[in-house]
Amino acid sequence: MTEPPLATFGYTDVPPSEKAGLVRGVFDSVASRYDLMNDLMSVGVHRVWKDMTAARLNPQPGERIIDCAGGTGDIAGRLAKLARAAKRRRGGPDAEILVVDYNAEMIGVGRERTTAPEIAWSVGDAQALPLPDACADAYVIAFGIRNVTDISVALREARRVLKPGGRFLCLEFSQPPAKLLRSLYDAYSFNLIPQVGEMVAGDRSSYQYLVESIRRFPSQDAFADMIAAAGFSRAGYTNFSGGVTALHHGWAV
Protein backbone atom coordinates (compact mmCIF):
# COMPACT_ATOMS: atom_id res chain seq x y z
CA MET A 1 0.00 0.00 0.00
CA THR A 2 1.32 3.44 -0.93
CA GLU A 3 2.01 5.66 2.04
CA PRO A 4 0.22 9.04 2.00
CA PRO A 5 2.46 12.05 1.31
CA LEU A 6 4.06 13.63 4.33
CA ALA A 7 2.68 16.82 5.84
CA THR A 8 4.79 19.83 6.74
CA PHE A 9 5.35 20.83 10.35
CA GLY A 10 7.70 23.77 10.05
CA TYR A 11 10.83 22.49 8.36
CA THR A 12 10.05 18.93 9.42
CA ASP A 13 8.00 16.50 7.35
CA VAL A 14 5.68 14.33 9.44
CA PRO A 15 3.00 11.68 8.78
CA PRO A 16 -0.31 13.44 8.09
CA SER A 17 -1.91 11.65 11.02
CA GLU A 18 0.53 13.37 13.40
CA LYS A 19 0.37 16.98 12.23
CA ALA A 20 -2.96 17.95 13.83
CA GLY A 21 -1.77 16.83 17.26
CA LEU A 22 1.51 18.68 16.89
CA VAL A 23 -0.25 21.89 15.86
CA ARG A 24 -2.71 21.51 18.72
CA GLY A 25 0.23 21.32 21.10
CA VAL A 26 1.64 24.56 19.70
CA PHE A 27 -1.58 26.49 20.21
CA ASP A 28 -2.33 24.91 23.59
CA SER A 29 1.00 26.34 24.65
CA VAL A 30 0.61 29.85 23.23
CA ALA A 31 -3.15 30.47 23.62
CA SER A 32 -3.00 32.71 26.70
CA ARG A 33 -0.28 34.95 25.18
CA TYR A 34 -1.30 34.64 21.54
CA ASP A 35 -2.72 38.14 21.06
CA LEU A 36 0.09 39.77 23.03
CA MET A 37 2.67 37.97 20.95
CA ASN A 38 0.93 39.09 17.75
CA ASP A 39 1.28 42.69 18.89
CA LEU A 40 4.95 42.23 19.74
CA MET A 41 5.90 40.25 16.62
CA SER A 42 4.21 42.65 14.20
CA VAL A 43 4.72 45.85 16.24
CA GLY A 44 0.93 46.13 16.20
CA VAL A 45 0.63 46.06 12.41
CA HIS A 46 -1.44 42.83 12.53
CA ARG A 47 -4.31 45.02 13.75
CA VAL A 48 -4.17 47.04 10.52
CA TRP A 49 -4.08 43.87 8.40
CA LYS A 50 -7.11 42.50 10.24
CA ASP A 51 -8.99 45.79 9.98
CA MET A 52 -8.45 45.78 6.21
CA THR A 53 -9.57 42.15 5.99
CA ALA A 54 -12.78 42.81 7.91
CA ALA A 55 -13.50 45.90 5.82
CA ARG A 56 -12.95 43.94 2.59
CA LEU A 57 -15.36 41.24 3.74
CA ASN A 58 -17.93 43.99 4.46
CA PRO A 59 -20.39 42.04 6.68
CA GLN A 60 -24.05 42.89 6.22
CA PRO A 61 -27.17 42.47 8.38
CA GLY A 62 -28.55 38.94 8.32
CA GLU A 63 -25.45 37.34 6.84
CA ARG A 64 -23.91 34.17 8.21
CA ILE A 65 -20.13 34.38 8.28
CA ILE A 66 -17.68 31.60 9.10
CA ASP A 67 -14.48 32.72 10.86
CA CYS A 68 -12.36 29.60 10.53
CA ALA A 69 -9.33 29.16 12.80
CA GLY A 70 -10.58 32.31 14.53
CA GLY A 71 -9.93 31.13 18.10
CA THR A 72 -9.32 34.33 20.05
CA GLY A 73 -12.00 36.27 18.18
CA ASP A 74 -9.75 39.00 16.78
CA ILE A 75 -11.36 38.91 13.34
CA ALA A 76 -14.85 38.00 14.61
CA GLY A 77 -14.95 41.02 16.92
CA ARG A 78 -14.12 43.32 14.03
CA LEU A 79 -16.78 41.71 11.84
CA ALA A 80 -19.40 42.04 14.58
CA LYS A 81 -18.64 45.73 14.96
CA LEU A 82 -18.93 46.36 11.22
CA ALA A 83 -22.13 44.30 10.97
CA ARG A 84 -23.73 46.34 13.77
CA ALA A 85 -22.79 49.56 11.99
CA ALA A 86 -24.34 48.26 8.76
CA LYS A 87 -27.49 47.28 10.66
CA ARG A 88 -27.81 50.80 12.08
CA ARG A 89 -27.61 52.22 8.56
CA ARG A 90 -29.81 49.72 6.77
CA GLY A 91 -31.85 47.90 9.40
CA GLY A 92 -32.44 44.17 9.19
CA PRO A 93 -31.57 41.17 11.38
CA ASP A 94 -28.31 40.65 13.20
CA ALA A 95 -25.44 39.01 11.37
CA GLU A 96 -24.28 35.65 12.70
CA ILE A 97 -20.55 35.07 12.98
CA LEU A 98 -19.49 31.51 13.76
CA VAL A 99 -15.93 31.06 15.00
CA VAL A 100 -14.65 27.55 14.29
CA ASP A 101 -11.26 26.55 15.65
CA TYR A 102 -9.55 23.19 16.08
CA ASN A 103 -8.05 24.24 19.40
CA ALA A 104 -10.30 24.36 22.45
CA GLU A 105 -7.76 26.46 24.39
CA MET A 106 -7.90 29.19 21.75
CA ILE A 107 -11.71 29.07 21.73
CA GLY A 108 -11.68 29.41 25.50
CA VAL A 109 -9.55 32.55 25.34
CA GLY A 110 -11.81 33.95 22.64
CA ARG A 111 -14.98 33.36 24.66
CA GLU A 112 -13.50 35.26 27.59
CA ARG A 113 -12.31 38.22 25.55
CA THR A 114 -15.02 38.64 22.92
CA THR A 115 -18.60 38.86 24.15
CA ALA A 116 -20.42 40.27 21.10
CA PRO A 117 -23.88 38.65 20.87
CA GLU A 118 -23.48 38.08 17.12
CA ILE A 119 -20.61 35.64 17.72
CA ALA A 120 -21.02 31.90 18.31
CA TRP A 121 -18.18 29.47 18.99
CA SER A 122 -17.43 25.91 17.92
CA VAL A 123 -14.48 23.55 18.16
CA GLY A 124 -14.06 22.03 14.72
CA ASP A 125 -11.68 21.05 11.94
CA ALA A 126 -11.14 23.27 8.89
CA GLN A 127 -10.92 20.08 6.83
CA ALA A 128 -14.30 18.75 8.05
CA LEU A 129 -16.42 21.69 9.15
CA PRO A 130 -19.42 20.81 11.36
CA LEU A 131 -21.75 22.64 8.97
CA PRO A 132 -24.17 21.83 6.13
CA ASP A 133 -23.56 22.63 2.50
CA ALA A 134 -24.16 26.17 1.22
CA CYS A 135 -24.99 27.61 4.64
CA ALA A 136 -22.78 30.73 4.74
CA ASP A 137 -22.56 34.04 2.92
CA ALA A 138 -18.86 34.54 3.65
CA TYR A 139 -15.87 32.63 4.98
CA VAL A 140 -12.67 34.12 6.37
CA ILE A 141 -9.55 32.47 7.73
CA ALA A 142 -6.70 34.57 9.13
CA PHE A 143 -3.25 33.14 9.83
CA GLY A 144 -4.69 29.65 10.11
CA ILE A 145 -4.68 27.82 6.82
CA ARG A 146 -0.96 27.12 6.82
CA ASN A 147 -1.49 25.08 10.00
CA VAL A 148 -3.95 22.59 8.52
CA THR A 149 -2.74 19.19 7.40
CA ASP A 150 -4.07 19.42 3.83
CA ILE A 151 -4.63 22.95 2.53
CA SER A 152 -6.50 21.76 -0.57
CA VAL A 153 -9.03 19.87 1.55
CA ALA A 154 -9.60 22.95 3.74
CA LEU A 155 -10.17 25.09 0.63
CA ARG A 156 -12.72 22.62 -0.72
CA GLU A 157 -14.50 22.66 2.65
CA ALA A 158 -14.65 26.45 2.50
CA ARG A 159 -16.24 26.20 -0.93
CA ARG A 160 -18.70 23.54 0.28
CA VAL A 161 -20.14 25.65 3.10
CA LEU A 162 -20.48 28.81 1.01
CA LYS A 163 -23.62 29.70 -0.86
CA PRO A 164 -23.26 30.43 -4.59
CA GLY A 165 -21.73 33.88 -4.79
CA GLY A 166 -20.33 33.62 -1.27
CA ARG A 167 -17.11 35.48 -0.47
CA PHE A 168 -13.88 33.74 0.52
CA LEU A 169 -11.04 35.65 2.19
CA CYS A 170 -7.78 34.32 3.54
CA LEU A 171 -5.25 36.53 5.32
CA GLU A 172 -1.91 34.80 5.59
CA PHE A 173 1.79 35.51 5.96
CA SER A 174 3.44 35.39 2.57
CA GLN A 175 6.61 36.05 0.63
CA PRO A 176 7.74 39.64 -0.05
CA PRO A 177 8.63 39.84 -3.75
CA ALA A 178 11.40 42.39 -3.15
CA LYS A 179 14.65 40.59 -2.40
CA LEU A 180 15.91 43.14 0.14
CA LEU A 181 12.66 43.15 2.12
CA ARG A 182 12.55 39.36 2.02
CA SER A 183 16.10 39.18 3.42
CA LEU A 184 15.31 41.67 6.20
CA TYR A 185 12.09 39.83 7.02
CA ASP A 186 13.91 36.50 7.23
CA ALA A 187 16.56 37.95 9.52
CA TYR A 188 13.93 39.47 11.80
CA SER A 189 11.75 36.36 11.85
CA PHE A 190 14.40 33.76 12.56
CA ASN A 191 16.52 35.82 14.96
CA LEU A 192 13.96 37.76 16.99
CA ILE A 193 10.57 36.04 16.96
CA PRO A 194 11.67 32.78 18.65
CA GLN A 195 13.61 34.83 21.23
CA VAL A 196 10.58 36.98 22.00
CA GLY A 197 8.47 33.83 22.25
CA GLU A 198 10.88 32.43 24.81
CA MET A 199 10.99 35.64 26.85
CA VAL A 200 7.27 36.50 26.80
CA ALA A 201 5.50 33.17 26.39
CA GLY A 202 8.21 30.87 27.74
CA ASP A 203 8.04 28.89 24.52
CA ARG A 204 10.73 29.21 21.88
CA SER A 205 9.93 26.04 19.94
CA SER A 206 6.32 26.98 19.13
CA TYR A 207 7.39 30.29 17.64
CA GLN A 208 10.22 28.61 15.77
CA TYR A 209 7.56 26.38 14.20
CA LEU A 210 5.38 29.37 13.32
CA VAL A 211 8.27 31.11 11.56
CA GLU A 212 9.20 27.96 9.66
CA SER A 213 5.59 27.28 8.67
CA ILE A 214 5.44 30.69 6.98
CA ARG A 215 8.45 29.85 4.84
CA ARG A 216 6.88 26.59 3.67
CA PHE A 217 3.56 28.15 2.74
CA PRO A 218 2.95 28.47 -1.04
CA SER A 219 3.75 31.71 -2.82
CA GLN A 220 0.95 34.17 -3.51
CA ASP A 221 0.48 33.00 -7.10
CA ALA A 222 0.65 29.31 -6.19
CA PHE A 223 -1.91 29.75 -3.43
CA ALA A 224 -4.22 31.69 -5.76
CA ASP A 225 -4.05 28.73 -8.14
CA MET A 226 -5.03 26.40 -5.27
CA ILE A 227 -8.03 28.62 -4.46
CA ALA A 228 -9.15 28.47 -8.10
CA ALA A 229 -8.68 24.69 -8.17
CA ALA A 230 -10.98 24.39 -5.15
CA GLY A 231 -13.86 25.86 -7.15
CA PHE A 232 -13.60 29.60 -6.59
CA SER A 233 -13.83 32.19 -9.34
CA ARG A 234 -11.75 35.36 -9.68
CA ALA A 235 -9.11 34.03 -7.29
CA GLY A 236 -6.49 36.65 -6.50
CA TYR A 237 -4.70 38.51 -3.76
CA THR A 238 -3.61 41.86 -2.42
CA ASN A 239 -0.20 42.19 -0.79
CA PHE A 240 -0.02 44.02 2.52
CA SER A 241 3.21 45.53 3.89
CA GLY A 242 5.18 44.71 0.77
CA GLY A 243 4.03 41.09 0.73
CA VAL A 244 4.80 40.22 4.35
CA THR A 245 1.14 39.20 4.37
CA ALA A 246 -1.36 38.79 1.58
CA LEU A 247 -5.15 38.87 1.52
CA HIS A 248 -6.38 36.19 -0.87
CA HIS A 249 -9.91 36.18 -2.22
CA GLY A 250 -12.34 34.22 -4.33
CA TRP A 251 -16.06 33.84 -4.98
CA ALA A 252 -18.02 30.61 -4.77
CA VAL A 253 -19.55 29.55 -8.11
CATH code for position 19? 3.40.50.150
- pTM of the entire predicted model: 0.93
Q: Note whether residue 105 is domain-resident.
A: yes
Q: What is the pLDDT of residues 26-59, one digit of tens each?
A: 998 888 888 888 888 888 999 999 999 999 999 9
pLDDT at 200: 82
pLDDT at 4: 56
What confidence score (pLDDT) does residue 3 get? 47
Question: How far is residue 53's CA from residue 77's CA, in Å, rounded to a whole number?
Answer: 12
pLDDT at 41: 85
Q: What is the mean pLDDT of residues 148-172?
A: 97
d(CA 219, CA 175): 6
Domain assignment of residue 157, yes or no: yes
Percentage of the chain beyond pLDDT 90 is: 82
Q: In angstroms, what CA-CA distances link 104 with 116, 118, 138, 179?
A: 19, 20, 23, 39
| 103: nearest Cα among 125, 127, 120 | 125
Question: What integer pLDDT is reported at residue 196 of this predicted model?
Answer: 86
- For range 214-237, the mean pLDDT: 97
Range of the domain at 140: 7-252
| 71 compared with 230, residue with greater pLDDT | 230
pLDDT in tens, 100-159: 999 999 999 999 988 899 999 999 999 999 999 999 999 999 999 999 999 999 999 999
Give the mean pLDDT of 61-77: 96
Q: Answer yes or no: is 2 within a domain.
A: no
Q: Count other C-beta atoms under 10 Å from residue 121's C-beta.
A: 21
Q: What is the mean pLDDT of residues 183-209?
A: 89
Q: Where are the alpha helices (DSSP H) in 11-57?
A: 16-30, 34-42, 45-57
Tell me the average pLDDT of the chain.
94
Is residue 248 domain-resident? yes
Q: What is the pLDDT of residue 1?
A: 39
For residue 1, being part of any structural domain is answered with no
Amino acid 244: pLDDT: 95
Q: How many domains does the chain have?
A: 1
Q: Does residue 27 contact residue 105 with C-beta atoms inside 8 Å? A: yes
